[in-house]
Structures are given as C-alpha cells and as structure tokens.
Amino acid sequence: MSRFQEKREQSVNKLIGVGLSLFATQGYEATSIRTIAAEADISLGLLYNYFKSKDELLEEIFRRGVQDIHDSFSDLPDNGSSSTGIERHIRQTVKLLKEKKDFWKLLHGIRMQSAVVKQLMADMQEQTAFIEARIKQNLITAGIPFPDLEAKLLFASIDGMAHHFLLYENYPIDDVASLLIMKYKK
C-alpha cells in the first residue's frame, strides 16, 4: 500500500518540479510533454499514469503553487508589532518571489493567455481579490484616504515590481521594495 504511495509521490513531485521549471522558462505551449518526461527521467507512459493530460499537469502545478502562496500569506499575523501590515505584506511578497521564482514566472507568463487555463484563472481571481482586499485593509488601518483606489495602485506597483524582478537580471528588488514601503509610512 504505502510502497506504491511512496514511489508515486516521488515521481509526481519530480514531474511537477520539472514541469514548473520548463513551463516557466519556455512557456506552456512550447514545452512538450515528452521533454518534461525525459528531463524528469520518467517514461512518457508513466507521466500519463499520474496526469490525465498536459492540461491537468499544468493545473496541478498551479494548484500547488497557489496553495503555497496562499498559505504563506495566511500565516502572516494580521497585526505584528514593530512593522505595519503593508510593510509585512510587501516583504513577504519579495521573499516569496525569490523562493518561488519559477512559479511566479509561470503565473505572470500565462495569465495573459487565459484561454489555456480558464478554470485556473477563475481560481486565481479569487486569490487576487483576497490579496487586494488584504492590501486595502492594511491601507485602512494605516489611515490612508481612498483605500480602494490606493489598493489598486499599490497592488499594481507590487505586481509591476515583481514582474520586473522576474524579467531582468540583478533587479534591485529589495531597494525598490524599501522605497515603496517608505511611501506608505506616516
């Protein structure tokens, strides 16, 4: 029972990892299932034992990535001590960006062609709304006027910063983040 479970999990994890990396680097359409299997040292047939289709592999990769991020943000205590919510949110985003660069690349690279993965995007919208709401809450807490619009702008700034970090080598994300945080202090 557990004998198979273990092997299965191992293979699945490997495929998810390789798939994420390749999809992020080359794009979904441009990455062949064959390449993924080969890179993961797993036969083509076995891949299909675990994932019903290329789409489903992508979906699972997404599901896990989104879950990771959601968890990470949920763990953030709503009211820390020495730092504002906004600061913590931005710092956490930067941390995640560095840790899960591939996933973010995939996300930012794919969300424009939502045709590929309509369902996934619906899920993402939910997460996005969740994040924007959290940002807004923090802005309200900080006493900033026009929290709705400010949330949109701050979210855009963070997203743009993230995008540039993923796009350019040696992007000084920490400095940019610090500057952004500073703007919302006092």
Partner DNA sequence: AATGAATGAGCCTTCATTCAT
Partner DNA sequence: GATGAATGAAGGCTCATTCAT
Residues near DNA (CB under 7 A): 3-4, 7-8, 11, 30-35, 42-46, 48-50, 52-55
**Rounded least distance, CB 101 to DNA, Å:** 23
The pair of three-digit structure tokens given for residue 102, joined into one six-digit string: 């591939």
Q: Three-class SS of residue 168?
A: coil
The pair of three-digit structure tokens given for residue 144, joined into one six-digit string: 């900033």
Tell which positions 69-128 bind a second copy, by CB under 8 A. Answer: 105, 108-109, 111-113, 115-116
Q: Residue from 13, 32, 156, 185 that binds a second copy (CB under 8 A)?
A: 156
Of 4 and 169, CB closest to DNA: 4
Regarding 12 and contact with a second copy (CB under 8 A), the answer is no
The pair of three-digit structure tokens given for residue 92, joined into one six-digit string: 């956490």
Tell which positions 122-151 bind a second copy, by CB under 8 A. Answer: 146, 149-150
User: 41: alpha, beta or left, given left = phi > 0 and alpha = psi -120 to 50?
Assistant: left
Q: Which does 163 bind (CB under 5 to 8 A by kind): DNA, a second copy, none?
A: a second copy
Q: What span, in angstroms and rounded, lies between the C-alpha atoms of 109 and 124?
A: 14
Local structure of residue 52 (DSSP, 8 states): S
**Rounded least distance, CB 37 to a second copy, Å:** 14
Q: What span, in angstroms and rounded, lies between the C-alpha atoms of 151 and 136?
A: 5
Between vectors from CA 133 to CA 128 and to CA 138, what angle results, nearest 5°?
A: 130
Q: Which does 80 bind (CB under 5 to 8 A by kind): a second copy, DNA, none?
A: none
**Cβ-proximal residues to 103 (8 Å cutoff; 6+ apart), any chain:** 20, 24, 61, 65, 68, 69
Which spans of this chain sit near a second copy (rule: CB under 8 A)? Answer: 25-30, 105, 108-109, 111-113, 115-116, 146, 149-150, 152-153, 155-161, 163-164, 166-167, 171-172, 175-176, 179-180, 183
